[in-house]
Amino acid sequence: MITDPTLIRIGEVAQLGHQGDHEAARHRFAGIWNEIGGERGDPLHRCTLAHVMADVQVDVHDELRWDRRALAAAELVTDARAQQAGMTLPVAALYPSLYLNLSECCRKLGDLARAREHLQQARAMIHVLGDDEYGRLIRDGLQKVAERLTEAGRRRPRP
């Protein structure tokens, strides 16, 4: 169970985004981003916030920037830090979702080669996730992105 107050706040704001109020979520996430010190803040806070901030962006380029921030911050998070915050999964469990989001952004932008690379990276780490609701959600997302990439490849010949 998450015990870190900042992660709890980020989760609460994420619910606004899930409910469709992306503008309010972006505004509140921006406030938390400033509070945590932005790019200089705790990597776990940065990773988590950037990951959900990406989901409430209007422009796919902005979404990609936030997804990249999330990945860069994840690379600095230790399992010990994650456990201290109350996370039960290892940091490696973050990567399938992070790469899934990067893959989808690249697909939306028409960079199918990069999208496929990120999809492969997500698939290479999916074994870390259990056969629970979260694991199934990510696996389902990977399948959908793979299907979209296959369809996009049919419409547009590879160079």
Q: What pLDDT score does 154 carry?
A: 83
Q: Is 68 exposed, middle or buried (0-12, 13-18, 19+ CB in 10 A)?
A: middle
Q: What pLDDT score does 157 carry?
A: 57
pLDDT tier at 156, thresholds 50, 70, 90 = low
Q: What pLDDT score does 153 carry?
A: 81
Mean pLDDT confidence for 125-136: 94
Q: What pLDDT score does 158 carry?
A: 53
Portion of the chain with pLDDT greater than 90, in percent: 93
Mean pLDDT of the chain: 95
16-67 residue pLDDT tens = 999 999 999 999 999 999 999 999 999 999 999 999 999 999 999 999 999 9
Please tell me the pTM assigned to this model. 0.92
Mean pLDDT confidence for 140-144: 97
Of 19-28, 64-73, 89-98, 146-155, the one with minimum mean pLDDT is 146-155
Mean pLDDT confidence for 104-131: 96
Q: Is the pLDDT of residue 159 over 60?
A: no
